[in-house]
Amino acid sequence: MLKKVLIANRGEIAVRIIRACAEMGIRSVAVYTDADKYSLHVKRADEAHSLGDDPVAGYLDPLRIVNLALQTGCDAIHPGYGFLSENARFAELCEQYGVTFIGPKSSVIQQMGDKTAARDSMRAAGVPITPGSDGNLANLDEAIALATEIGYPVMIKATSGGGGRGIRRCDSEAELRQQFPRVISEATKAFGSADVFLEKCIVNPRHIEVQILADSQGNVIHLYERDCSIQRRNQKLIEIAPSPQLTPEQRDYVGELAVKAAKAVGYENAGTVEFLLTGNQVYFMEMNTRIQVEHTITEQITGVDIVREQLRIASGLSLSYRQQDIQYRGFALQFRINAEDPKNDFLPSFGRITHYYAPGGPGVRIDTAIYTGYQIPPHFDSMCLKLVVWALNWEDAVDRGQRALDDMRLHGIKTTATYYQQILNHPDFRQGHFDTSFVAGHPELLNYSEKRHPSAVALAIATALAAHAGW
């Protein structure tokens, strides 16, 4: 079993991993830059070490992090999500210096991170993929010829892309001519590669992803699916497990496809296989070779601690479960509470949290690293907490989500919480009828009024009195 793990991440996912380590008797080492020196993950780990004054650079320096792991006597590194989590060079350095990378092998990260190589692997394994280029596009003329053949709309995507970046939809040749150089420019800046490919755009699909676990003995299982269709500009907002839109036959099919995909590339550890569904047709989209932000809802419906399984797998142990052991119960929803102002085009709203109260009660879980007085830095992703609710049936889960969002108090910044309540109130959502066009197709949901809760008024009065009295 692993003895000491360095967590090459920050915020709520770092806290999540620290908790799993503590339960398993594994010592945890946190890293931070000056912008994060007051972050909760720094306070909760057994040790914490600075990566310097640059807010972001330290988190993106693979050699420095591996060296720090060696200096502090760590036998493993957990990359979390984002930053270096899908960086093949980082995993390769861990392998080179004898530090266990808690994830798949570097060669698998490289293969699945290259979107064209991933498509080739899935095609060979018999996993359905969207019509498109067989490899990277040589030039604009090739893109136009292929788009004419398969029909518009099409998607131009960065081969090394991810997180919704390096991707453009083109509805005509004119748009393709306009967007092609933009995607190349964005891909070069964001991912250091100008390679792009083209595929048929599946209009208004459902975005379904399947959580898998695989050990070093060749055992692979799935933990059922999550529905991530509620998204804005390819960024997920609300995630649901299991999908209220799948039939039992569809659920079994996508689960089997995900296991087949993982076995085809010799996958190890936790990962997610993402699909687009339109009618009864399923298409492979990509594979995320890391833990997902939304792993929480899979844990809620299956009872499987995914991070604990990651640590066990990295220790060389076999999976704790067989496929027949995995059952799901009820429905879970995760709300990404972002520090953004939905009524101002989702502009980031960083700043000091003057008051924070976490919702609770049956079936409510919070994953966060914030607290009252915490200053949300402007250098990172805007998500400040994940609110997860669970109930035995879909209707009760939606109602519980409404109640938990209403219970939460988060003052000092703007958040997406009230906007999510408008989504939950919409009859199509409550009936489980939605796809990736839901947010864009319902701009009226942004026309809500900000109601001021009595607690906010009381807090404002107390703050004013305290300031006047010189408390």
8 Å CB contact between 14 and 369: yes
8 Å CB contact between 268 and 214: yes
Specify the pairing of strand 154-162 against strand 27-32: unpaired
What are the structure tokens assigned to 294, written together?
A: 């939304």
DSSP helix, strand, coil percent of the chain (3-state; round to 5): 40, 25, 35
Catalytic member of 290, 312, 336, 400: 290
Q: Which residues contact 336 (CB under 8 A, 6 or more apart)?
A: 236, 237, 238, 239, 293, 383, 386, 416
Instruction: Report d(CA 293, CA 28) in Å as an integer.
Output: 20
Q: CA dihedral defined by 135, 141, 143, 149, rounded to 10 degrees?
A: -110
Cis ω for the linkage preceding 248 (within 30 of 0) = no
Instruction: Report d(CA 119, CA 137) in Å as an integer.
Output: 14
Cis ω for the linkage preceding 342 (within 30 of 0) = no
8 Å CB contact between 233 and 248: no
Q: Which of 42, 45, 49, 38 is nearest to 19 (CA)?
A: 45
> Cα 147 from chain centroid?
30
233 given a catalytic annotation: no
∠ CA 349-350-355 to the nearest 5 degrees?
95
Active-site amino acid positions: 290
